[in-house]
Amino acid sequence: MKKLLFTAALVLATAANAQEPNIPMGMFGGQQNTNVNFDPYVAAPQGFDKERAGIEKGTVKLIEYQSESVGTTRKANVYLPPKYDAKKKYSVLYLLHGIGGDEWEWMNDGGVPNIIMDNLYADKKVADMIVVMPNGRAAKNDSRSGGMGSAAAFGEFDKDLIGSLIPYIEKNFSVYTDKDHRAIAGLSMGGGQSLNFGLGNMDKFAYVGGFSSAPNTAQPQQLIPDVEKTKKENKLLWMVCGSADGLMFNSSRLKAFCDEKGVPCTLIQYPGEGHNFVVWKYGLYNFAQLIFKK
């Protein structure tokens, strides 16, 4: 896993102090699996990611928690939906960033998750949930400046997530504490983390999403060593990647494996787009509507 992460960081190191880089087709020299059975692409409605007047708005709160695995205080942003009520119980989506970001990437680099979620709530298209946007580098220096030196820290984040962040969220917010009310998804490096950690901890996450997942994504046989267990315990495995994204192979090989083994899995090819927030916003918009539904 650390070798995979190092390779990903080495190639994507240009993103260390900026937004996620564009990944040209053929950059990794890998087959793109263009013959995979993609699921139908349905365009999101116009304005799904634009702020709307006259609707109730959620709030975003920056929290700090003590990480036992890292040994320091770490930060995360938490989106609370309109009329958040501590007397109710909410599901939780853990939404991860890429190698070029931190806990602010979704909010400040073009992801507008609060606007997308506000609009979905206004249209009554999502279940009650909060969205937690952590820093996926489990290191004392977890800034964007860490560059490829932070590669291993991305691989260690599951210890921080499961051991410290989830318990903090469950103690300080009114949320359910079972796996059926917990989802994980992310973009690029965070997409790989979500597939690795989500499928690797099906007792913790019932819903898993990968948006343009990076080369830190484990091989399908590693992600799904027990096909029957995955069929039984995973409620949603959902992916999207741009048709012009050089990282398509990471998603398409998992889709091909799942189709061969009969594991329910969605992979949407976003037409004409590369490695960018056009795809990732579309991913959040769709994934959020599918999780925590009875």
Secondary element (H or E) of residue 277 = helix 277-290
Residue 79, SS3?
A: strand
**Which pLDDT does position 148 carry in this prediction?**
52
Read off the pLDDT of residues 149-205 as tens digits, 9 standing for 90 and up: 567 899 999 999 999 999 999 999 999 999 999 999 999 999 999 999 999 999 999
- Residue 85 CB burial class (10 angstroms; 0-12, 13-18, ≥19): exposed
pTM over 0.85: yes
Confidence band (pLDDT; 50, 70, 90) for 25? low
Nearest-5° angle of CA 45, CA 51, CA 52? Answer: 80
Q: How far apart are CA 12 and CA 36, in angstroms?
A: 26
Architecture of the domain whose range is 2-290? 3-Layer(aba) Sandwich (3.40)
Cβ-Cβ contacts under 8 Å for 108 (sequence gap 6 or more) = none
Read off the pLDDT of residues 57-105 as tens digits, 9 standing for 90 and up: 999 999 999 999 999 999 999 999 999 999 999 999 999 999 989 999 9
What does the block give as tokens for 62? Answer: 């920056």
Q: How far apart are CA 55 and CA 189, in angstroms?
A: 33
Cβ-Cβ contacts under 8 Å for 252 (sequence gap 6 or more) = 32, 33, 34, 36, 241, 267
Annotated domain spans of the chain: 2-290
